[in-house]
Amino acid sequence: MLHRPQAVPASDGLDAPQRYWAWLAILLTVTLAVLDGTIATVALPSIAADFGASPSASIWIVNGYQLAVVVSLLPIASLGEILGYRRVYLAGVALFTAASLACMLSTSLPALSAARVMQGFGGAGVMSVNTALIRYVVPKAKFGTALGINALIVACAATAGPAIAGFMLTWFAWPWLFAINVPLGVLAIAIGFFNLPMSDRAQRRFDWVSALLSAMTIGLMVATIDTLGHGARAAWVAAGIAGMAAAATLLVRRAMRVAEPLLPLDLLRLPVFAMSIGTSISSFTAQMLAFVSLPFAFQTIMGFSPAEVGMLMMPWPLATGFSAPLAGRLADRYSPAILGGIGLAAMAAGLAALMALPEHPSIPDVAWRMLLCGAGFGFFQTPNNRTLITSAPKERSGSASGMLSTARLTGQTTGAALASLLLARFGITGAVTALGVASGFAALAAAVSLARIGFFRTHEAK
């Protein structure tokens, strides 16, 4: 376990056994981050009751974390290219662990919300460079397989999170949900400190102005989409759009003057990279539209009990967990554009089939449709992530990894806002309408994925 961190590997990835220890540190941290998100959501009612807070106030325990992550992803990714992914990753895990301890010891809702914001910044330190770091750990020929395993761990953690939270809340108070992060975080830091590799480092200064403009642009975008989804006044929405547009304009102008900008315009000029970002945003929009609307459709329209709804939601992440590693292995040999197109087409078909469900379907009727959606999504996600990272120069892996996470969060935020908008506009029947819209987004993503074939061949030939 105790290895001296390699300098920038001259070979393709790390040598065994250091590679396996480094891989363990990454997977352990990813599991922590995913579990924490699902556990915190399940614990909201218990936390609100303990502090005597309203449900709307307690939502900031989740929203504060997510907002901190989304506004800091690109700046921290850029910092990773300058300081090295290993340093930023370990600092992120350390901050996440310390903030988990602060969450456990919080005695008021504002204190807990502030600790969750700090936890979000730590999580961003992990998520922004996670995929870039994997590129230095595993051989190029196994990179797709590694991303598939990563997706499997994420799916398993997302599936197990609610069950773990429910079990722990039955026997323990909610602070223990955050307490379990502390020993696991310390373990991840110890393993990672001795085994994670060094990486290429950019010879430039950190651009604080661009970092601030990036945070303003993305933060205002998320806030505007959220207020739109909750039916805010037109004046507030217009003000948010105007502020976002102003910050984005200044950010783009500044990015055009430098060779390696914080907003990676140099990468977005690459057709394969830009189209993969568009595919990712559209697919995650479809996913979140479905995830938000399906519980309403299952319980209110189709009459399933809350326990049955929880069971019916499980086939999707389970199928993703099984299909993602397979897709990762195939992506090391076959065109990710074709694999992604097939997966997204299957997802679009599954969503359309869910929309067409009768008023009182059987559990198997629902289950096979959810399996089709999950398998299709997993078949797309790993090849697309592989293309996103490998289409960028290795020294720009941090910016590519940051854009990957930003695309995911942008799509999920957009999907949640659209689902809220449809539910507000059409009532409970908006849940069914949302599935049709989700199918349309998945079909659009499939078309964009397949359109990459020619560009992908050109990129591979270089």
- The answer to whether residue 440 scores a pLDDT higher than 80 is yes
462: confidence class by pLDDT, cuts 50, 70, 90? very low
Say what the pLDDT of residue 350 is.
96
Residue of 451, 445, 334 lying closest to 386 (CA atoms): 334
- The answer to whether residue 381 scores a pLDDT higher than 50 is yes
- The answer to whether residue 99 scores a pLDDT higher than 50 is yes
59: confidence class by pLDDT, cuts 50, 70, 90? low
Number of Cβ within a 10 Å radius of residue 109: 19
Lowest mean pLDDT among 47-56, 131-140, 182-191, 428-437: 47-56
346: confidence class by pLDDT, cuts 50, 70, 90? very high
Dihedral of CA 389/393/394/395: which sign?
negative
Angstrom CA distances, 185 to 28, 107, 179, stand at 8, 22, 10
- The answer to whether residue 392 scores a pLDDT higher than 50 is yes
- The answer to whether residue 386 scores a pLDDT higher than 80 is yes
Long-range contacts of 46-54 (CB under 8 A, 24+ apart): 46/169, 46/173, 46/174, 47/109, 47/112, 47/174, 50/173, 50/174, 51/108, 51/109, 51/112, 53/109
Q: What count of Cα atoms within 13 Å lies in the side-chain half-sphere of residue 352? A: 11
129-145: pLDDT as tens digits:
888 888 888 888 888 77
Percentage helix, strand, coil for the chain under 3-state DSSP, each rounded to 5: 80, 0, 20
- The answer to whether residue 6 scores a pLDDT higher than 80 is no
Kindly state the percentage of the chain with pLDDT values over 70.
Answer: 91
236-261: pLDDT as tens digits:
778 888 998 998 899 888 888 877 78
User: 413 and 267: one domain?
Assistant: yes
Distance CA 420, CA 226 (A): 9
**Is 346:376 a contact under the CB 8 Å cutoff?**
yes
Question: How much is the mean pLDDT over the chain?
Answer: 83
Distance CA 246, CA 200 (A): 34
Overall number of domains in the chain:
3
User: 15 and 133: one domain?
Assistant: yes
Lowest mean pLDDT among 141-145, 210-214, 445-449: 141-145
Q: Which domain holds residue 174?
A: 1-204
191: confidence class by pLDDT, cuts 50, 70, 90? very high
User: 21 and 90: one domain?
Assistant: yes
Q: Which of 172, 188, 204 is the last residue of a domain?
A: 204
Say what the pLDDT of residue 10 is.
44
User: 335 and 377: one domain?
Assistant: yes
Single-letter residue type at 26: I
User: 234 and 362: one domain?
Assistant: no
Say what the pLDDT of residue 3 is.
54
User: 230 and 362: one domain?
Assistant: no
Torsions phi, psi of 86, nearest 5? Answer: -60, -45
Most confident of 194-203, 339-348, 421-430: 339-348
Q: Is 303 exposed, middle or buried (0-12, 13-18, 19+ CB in 10 A)?
A: exposed
Single-letter residue type at 98: A
User: 24 and 112: one domain?
Assistant: yes
Lowest mean pLDDT among 229-233, 294-298, 423-427, 454-458: 454-458
Q: Which residue has the higher pLDDT, 31 or 282?
A: 282
Residues 120-137, mean pLDDT to the nearest whole number: 86
**Is 6:21 a contact under the CB 8 Å cutoff?**
no
Q: Which residue has the higher pLDDT, 414 or 306?
A: 414
User: 307 and 436: one domain?
Assistant: yes
DSSP states of 265-310? HHHHTSHHHHHHHHHHHHHHHHHHHHHHHHHHIIIIIS---HHHHH
Say what the pLDDT of residue 260 is.
75
Say what the pLDDT of residue 404 is.
84
Single-letter residue type at 453: I
Which tokens go with 293?
């609307």
Residue pointed to by tokens 């869910």:
354
Residues 6 or more apart in contact with residue 238 via CB below 8 angstroms: none
**Is 298:431 a contact under the CB 8 Å cutoff?**
no
User: 39 and 66: one domain?
Assistant: yes
Distance CA 86, CA 136 (A): 10
User: 74 and 193: one domain?
Assistant: yes
Distance CA 443, CA 93 (A): 37
Single-letter residue type at 295: P
- The answer to whether residue 189 scores a pLDDT higher than 90 is yes
Residues 69-88, mean pLDDT to the nearest whole number: 87
Residue of 400, 408, 315 lying closest to 354 (CA atoms): 315
Number of Cβ within a 10 Å radius of residue 47: 20
Residues 6 or more apart in contact with residue 336 via CB below 8 angstroms: 144, 383, 384, 386, 387, 456
Residues 415-419, mean pLDDT to the nearest whole number: 81
DSSP 333: T
Say what the pLDDT of residue 159 is.
67
- The answer to whether residue 417 scores a pLDDT higher than 90 is no
Residue of 402, 414, 89 lying closest to 273 (CA atoms): 402
139-182: pLDDT as tens digits:
888 887 787 777 777 777 766 776 777 777 778 888 988 888 89
User: 44 and 77: one domain?
Assistant: yes
User: 218 and 249: one domain?
Assistant: yes
70: confidence class by pLDDT, cuts 50, 70, 90? confident
Kindly state the percentage of the chain with pLDDT values over 90.
Answer: 22
Q: Is 299 exposed, middle or buried (0-12, 13-18, 19+ CB in 10 A)?
A: middle
Residue of 378, 388, 369 lying closest to 330 (CA atoms): 378
49: confidence class by pLDDT, cuts 50, 70, 90? confident
Number of Cβ within a 10 Å radius of residue 34: 20
CATH number at residue 67: 1.20.1250.20
